[in-house]
DNA sequence: TAGATTGTTAATCGATTAACAATC
DNA sequence: TAGATTGTTAATCGATTAACAATC
């Protein structure tokens, strides 16, 4: 398929559409117009139609969109109809919290392994998965069809671990370490920099207060 | 001050500048040009100069920027020179992980209290803070100068809790619940929707693969 | 058929990049 | 002073919104 590149701005909005459509579906709503969805989601109807049309027409003139169909199609676009195996590297608080989060499984993300450099954590159980030592990471990635590595380790070791992951065929890194990873073209990195997010909040608190002075 | 509105695109980049400048400072680098910083951060020098100039001139022609000064100024813009007290609502895995994260304190974010609806979690200790029952939330917010509430509870209760927070004078919500909160103008909300982030990663994995077919 | 609403083109708006005069 | 590099204006690019013809 000769698909033109879809902008990340559009991709970034798809999960939110997916969530709203899922809720509408669960409420038994059968169809919805861009106008109604616009009211619900507080985005323009124009943007909704443009976004959907990046992927071809999902609607029908005079009718609107079929909720269940649109929900399913967006799921497919997001790759949620496929299984993605992941490992978590770093069995600290955050790593364990993510390992225990059950909803990922519902979307096809399967928790396959967990690793930590600290011998005291090795062998511990997180939702049926035993923490393994770092020495086993590379062979495990290769032998268990792992797509995604979740990095919940300190930034000091993150860059080095990322290189190992890439060398062993990982396809994507979900990076919670507070450092920019440098990976070759074609390896996907999604950063979750929690402290950056908190700083934005801080800025907005203070800006608002100085504005009303 | 009559400051024109700074776009969120710019604000979103400030924490990353702050991080790079902090590292440069720690390495003892005294000055840097937009050109050098551009090479390091992989953004255009033009964007760097435009971003900084939103807040007035921090540099000097022919010299560049003083690293330590610029670092400190960006910190001030982000409000990191002020103390922000926060509470965590939801003492599950994620809430406890955030409570145990020490680096927030270094930036002026002080962990003051933790709450949970589950009686079995009440009384537990997270880094010196005892988990309190939800009944105490509202008075605690009012009486302890709490700026930020971190929501790590299921989406089913998040909307209701957010309303209570607003009614008791919270200024900002760091929302990890997978639901959009509707708050009055002037209350800041920063969403961290982890599953949205994971879905974006999923899209990019699958897009890349179909592109190279 | 008439009304509704999409798909899509055109217009606008905002953000990024390029260029260069100002100045250290 | 000459060279370097900012601050800032102008040009470009991309994303959002508006408008409307196509069509169910």
Domains of chain A (ranges; CATH) run 8-77 (1.10.10.10), 84-196 (3.40.50.720)
Please list the residues that pair with A110 across neighbouring strands.
A85
* Band (A126; pLDDT cuts 50, 70, 90): very high
* Distance in angstroms (rounded) separating the CA atoms of residues A126 and A145: 20
Q: How confident is the model at residue A1 (pLDDT cuts 50, 70, 90)?
A: very low
Distance from CA of B51 to the nearest CA of A (A): 15
Q: What percent of chain A has pLDDT over 70?
A: 95
pLDDT digits (tens, 9 = 90+) for A148-195: 999 999 999 999 999 999 999 999 999 999 999 999 999 999 999 999
Parallel, antiparallel, or unpaired for β B64-66 and B31-32?
antiparallel
Whether B204 has a pLDDT exceeding 70, the answer reads yes
Phi, psi for residue A6 in degrees, rounded to 5:
-90, 135
Task: Quote the CA–CA distance of B58 and A26 in Å, as a whole number.
Answer: 53
pLDDT at B50 over 50: yes
Distance from residue B69's CA to nucleotide D9's C1', rounded to whole Å: 27
User: Contact at 8 Å (CB) between B96 and A100?
Assistant: no
> CA-to-C1' distance for B10 and D13, Å?
18
* SS3 state of residue B118: coil
By DSSP bridging, strand B84-89 and strand B59-60 are unpaired
pLDDT in tens, A19-71: 999 999 999 999 999 999 999 999 999 999 999 999 988 999 999 999 999 99
Å between B77 CA and nearest CA of chain A = 7
The reply to whether residue B210 touches residue A92, judged by beta carbons under 8 angstroms, is no
Q: Which residues of B21-45 are buried (b: 16+ CB within 10 A; e: fewer)?
A: beebbeeeeebbbbebbbeebebee
State the nearest Cα–Cα gap between B65 and chain A, in angstroms. Answer: 22
Contact at CB, A14 and B204, closer than 8 angstroms: no
Taking the Cβ of residue B29 and every Cβ of chain A, the question of whether any pair is shorter than 8 Å is answered with: no
Q: Name the closest residue on chain B to residue A23, using Cα atoms.
A: B179
Determine the protein residue whose CA lies at the shortest distance from the C1' of D9.
B50
Is B3's pLDDT higher than 60? Answer: no
Mean residue pLDDT of chain B comes to 95
Residue B5, pLDDT score: 86
The mean pLDDT value of chain A amounts to 95
Q: What mean pLDDT do residues A111-115 have?
A: 98
Sequence ranges of the binding site of A for NAD(+): 90-95
Q: What's the CA B40/C1' D6 distance, rounded, in angstroms?
A: 19
Q: For chain B, positions 130-169, list CB contacts with chain A under 8 A.
A: 147-148
Nearest 5 degrees, angle CA A104-CA B102-CA B117? 55
- The pLDDT of residue A2 is 38
CA dist., res. B185 & res. B187, Å (int): 6
Local structure of residue A95 (DSSP, 8 states): H
> Among A149, A203, A211, A213, which would you mutate to test the B interface (most chain B Cβ atoms within 10 Å of its Cβ)?
A203
pLDDT of residue B28 exceeding 60:
yes
Residue percentage of chain A with pLDDT more than 90: 92
Residue B63 Cβ < 7 Å to strand C: yes
Q: Is A106 on the interface with B (CB under 8 A)?
A: no
Put simply, the answer to whether A101 touches B193 (Cβ < 8 Å) is: no
Tell me how far apart the alpha carbons of residues B13 and B15 are, in angstroms, rounded to a whole number: 6
CA distances to A16, A156, B171 from B188, in Å: 19, 32, 6
At residue B209, does pLDDT exceed 80?
no
- In tens, the pLDDT along B134-159 reads 999 999 999 999 999 999 999 999 99
pLDDT higher than threshold 80 for residue A76: yes
Helix (H, G, I), strand (E, B) or coil at A117: coil
pLDDT band at residue A213 under the 50/70/90 scheme: very low
pLDDT for residue A5: 86
Where residue B210 falls among pLDDT bands split at 50, 70, 90?
Answer: low
Is a pLDDT exceeding 90 seen at residue A207?
no
């Amino acid at each position: 398929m000769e698909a033109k590149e879809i902008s990340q701005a559009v991709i970034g909005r798809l999960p939110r559409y997916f969530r709203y459509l899922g809720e509408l579906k669960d409420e038994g709503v059968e169809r919805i117009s861009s106008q109604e969805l616009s009211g619900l989601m507080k985005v323009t109807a124009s943007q909704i139609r443009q976004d959907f049309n990046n992927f071809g027409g999902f609607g029908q003139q005079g009718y609107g969109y079929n909720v269940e169909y649109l929900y399913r199609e967006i799921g497919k676009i997001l790759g949620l109809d496929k299984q993605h195996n992941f490992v978590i590297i770093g069995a600290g608080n955050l790593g364990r919290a993510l390992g225990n989060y059950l909803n990922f499984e519902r979307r096809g993300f399967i928790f396959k392994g967990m690793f930590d450099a600290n011998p005291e954590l090795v062998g511990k159980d997180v939702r049926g998965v035993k923490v393994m030592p770092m020495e086993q990471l590379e062979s495990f990635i290769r032998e268990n069809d792992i797509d995604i590595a979740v990095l919940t380790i300190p930034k000091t070791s993150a860059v080095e671990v990322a290189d190992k992951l890439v060398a062993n065929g990982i396809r994507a890194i979900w990076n919670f370490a507070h450092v920019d990873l440098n990976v070759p073209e074609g390896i996907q990195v999604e950063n979750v920099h929690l402290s950056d997010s908190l700083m934005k909040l801080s800025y907005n608190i203070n800006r608002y207060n100085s504005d009303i002075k």
